[in-house]
Chain A
Amino acid sequence: MTANAREKILLYILIAIVLIVFMTPIYLIVVSSLKPSALMFSRPPTFIFTPTLQHYYDLFTMRPFHLQILNSLIVALGSTAFSLVVGSLAAYAISRIKSRWINDVSFWILSMRMFPPIAVVVPYYIIFKSIGLLDTPLALIIVYSTFNIPLTVWLMKGFFDEVPEALEEAAQVDGHGVIATFWYVTLPLTAPGLAVAAVFCFIFSWNEFLFALMLTGSKAQTVTIAVMSFWSSDAVQWGRIMAGSFVVLIPGVIFVLTCQRWLVKGLTMGSVKG
Chain B
Amino acid sequence: MSSVTLRNVVKRYGQLEVVHGINLEIDEGAFVVLLGPSGCGKTTTLRMVAGLESISDGQLEIASRVVNDVAPKDRQIAMVFQNYALYPHMTVRQNMEFALKPQKLADGEVDRRITEASRILGLEPLLARKPAQLSGGQRQRVAMARAMVRTPKVFLFDEPLSNLDAKLRTQVRLEIAKLHKRLGTTVLYVTHDQIEAMTLADKIVIMKDGHIEQVGSPEEVFASPKNLFVATFIGSPSMNLFQMTVEQAELGLLLTSQPFSVPVPSPLLSKLSPGRQVTLGVRPSDIRIAAKGEPGSFEARVDVVEYLGIEALLNLRIGSQEFIAQVAAAERPVPDQDVSVFFNPAGLHFFDSQSGQAL
List chain A positions with a Cβ less than 8 A from chain B: 164, 166-167, 169-177, 180, 184-185, 188-189, 266-274
Instruction: Give CA–CA (A166, B73) in the complex, Å.
Output: 14
In contact, A166 and B150 (Cβ under 8 angstroms)? no
Q: How far is the CB of A99 from chain B (nearest CB, A)?
A: 12
Q: Is A177 within 8 A of B87, CB to CB? A: no
Query: In the complex where A170-B81, A271-B131 touch, is A175 in contact with B86 (Cβ < 8 A)?
Result: no
Question: Which one of A164, A171, A173, A266 has the greatest number of beta carbons of chain B within 10 Å?
Answer: A173
The complex places the Cα of A267 from the Cα of B50 at a distance, in Å, of 27
Contact call B77/A173, Cβ cutoff below 8 A = yes
Cβ contact within 8 Å between B73 and A170:
no
In the complex, whether B103 has a CB less than 8 A from a CB of chain A is: yes
- Chain A to chain B contacts (Cβ below 8 Å), 9 pairs: A166-B83, A170-B86, A172-B71, A173-B51, A173-B52, A173-B77, A270-B133, A272-B81, A274-B83
Instruction: Specify which of B73, B83, B130, B164 is in contact with A176 (CB 8 Å cutoff).
Output: B73
**Considering the chains assembled together, what is the distance between the CA atoms of A1 and B74 in angstroms?**
67
Task: Across the interface, name the chain B residue whose C-beta is closest to A268.
Answer: B88
**Is B174 in contact with chain A by the CB < 8 A criterion?**
no
Q: Is B89 interfacial (CB-CB < 8 Å)?
A: yes
B248 CB to nearest chain A CB (Å): 59
In the bound complex, CA of A273 to CA of B72 (Å) = 24
Q: Which residues of B contact A (CB under 8 A)?
A: 50-52, 71-75, 77-79, 81, 83-89, 98-99, 101-103, 130-134, 136, 139, 146, 150, 156, 163-164
Report the Cα distance A180→B72, complex, angstroms: 14
Chain A residues with CB under 8 Å of B50's CB are: 169, 173
A175 touches B102 (CB 8 A): yes
Q: How far is the CA of A270 from the CA of B131 in the complex (A)?
A: 5
- Cβ contact of B101, chosen from A164, A176, A274, cutoff 8 A: A176
Given A189-B88, A274-B164: 6 more A-B contacts, CB < 8 Å: A172-B73, A174-B102, A175-B102, A272-B84, A272-B85, A273-B83
A164 to B88, CA, bound (A): 11
